Copies of this chain bind each other. A is one copy, B any other.
């Protein structure tokens, strides 16, 4: 398939830049704004860009020639075109400029990990007025029938009243929200629903949602800031969450456990001056505990349906957010951690690790062994940082070296005190499922 007439040097430059940086790329984003995409791309590939910019791209630029970079960018545009996707750039009239303003504002206020996307791969079409006409709906993948019902009805009611639903593509609340919006449709024929991916636009994750993603692309939009082929990884979900929050005037959390990754979307929404809302549920359900924390601490407005959401948004002007503290580089984790209460929950393997080490841990594939060079590319961190992180992970039994390759380990569960009970002594598994959405 030939590259379309919209293929320009700028388009190639954005595709090339997207390939060599790992979002969120704060320094690069500012550099592109200052120098323009074409000059910025060349400066990056030729390693002439300022040091903070190079630091974010060095891992993937390493020994990339200018010709290789150009071929890769062309290939990415072709790969995208083959799944019906285009690269939307800030120069495009359809660029959601108003939606990403909140991200720029967050960056200006010193929030780390809030950089706007350089460009967006899009299948389908975005609603014209974002974030004004969008409402973000997020919640647990493993939601209850209650959460599924509430998400579906809320999305359907919002779509029927002219709002587009913004969500991820996970099972549970995301899926229920998209189906609800698709069934109701937008009365004005505008796109009713938008899915923002944490992987390449040409991938379906989870695979079982491939058909849903096709339907969303046909009636609305599937969006990603990652180049084609990018695999989903935990840190990408957290980074992606800032875009889910950005595209809606407000974010509604339908169901979320105490440590749900969903809470990072709430934090991101708050950082961008978006309204945070939560749906209460039975206090006997652990799946509503995260919503109740948001409500109890008055981070979130309580909403029970579309009427409440529209009323709350009607009375909401984007404000200087002050509720959540600034996040770390993974785009919201430390914000969400504020909501943790001591002794309330089991630990996550990366608890207590610094952001870089956690990012390397999450860069591991689920089952396979991986070379350091691959980890460098996958994490977007430079080799010395990755090696330092591996040493820390090895020390904590979270990774082990096997010849020239490394594999991730699941930390052993603590044996039950005074018993040789079912959880027994430390057990390792190489397959920790991704947790965050």
Contacts and interface: CB of A to CB of B under 8 A. Distances in A.
A411 interface: no
A295 B302 contact: yes
A296 B303 contact: yes
A292 interface: yes
A121 B336 CA distance: 52
A50 to B, nearest CB: 47
Contacts of A298: 298
A5 interface: no
A308 B284 contact: no
A304 B283 contact: yes
A146 B284 contact: yes
A59 to B, nearest CB: 45
A371 to B, nearest CB: 47
A150 B280 CA distance: 15
Q: Which of A283, A284, A292, A298 has the most CB of B within 10 A?
A: A283
A146 B305 CA distance: 21
A433 interface: no
A337 interface: no
A346 to B, nearest CB: 18
A61 interface: no
A170 to B, nearest CB: 22
Interface in A247-284: 279-284
Interface string A396-425: 000000000000000000000000000000
Contact of A281 (B282, B289, B295, B296): B282
Contact of A295 (B282, B288, B295): B295
A149 B283 CA distance: 11
A280 B305 CA distance: 14
A301 interface: yes
Contacts of A281: 280-283
A303 B302 CA distance: 14
B296 A150 contact: no
A363 B47 CA distance: 88
Contacts of A302: 280, 292, 295-296
A146 B282 contact: yes
Given A298-B298, A301-B296, A308-B296, A283 B280 contact: yes
A96 to B, nearest CB: 30
A378 to B, nearest CB: 40
Nearest to A294: B302
Contacts of A280: 280-283, 288, 292, 295, 302
Nearest to A307: B341
B305 A149 contact: no
Interface string A144-172: 00100110000000000000000000000
B305 A283 contact: yes
Contacts of A303: 296
Interface string A128-151: 000000000000000000100110
Nearest to A296: B302
Nearest to A302: B296
A150 B283 CA distance: 8
Contacts of A301: 296
Interface string A90-124: 00000000000000000000000000000000000
A368 to B, nearest CB: 42
Interface string A303-314: 111001000000
Shortest beta-carbon contacts, A-B, top 5: A280-B280, A283-B304, A296-B302, A295-B302, A292-B304
7 contacts: A150-B283, A280-B283, A289-B304, A292-B302, A296-B301, A296-B308, A298-B298
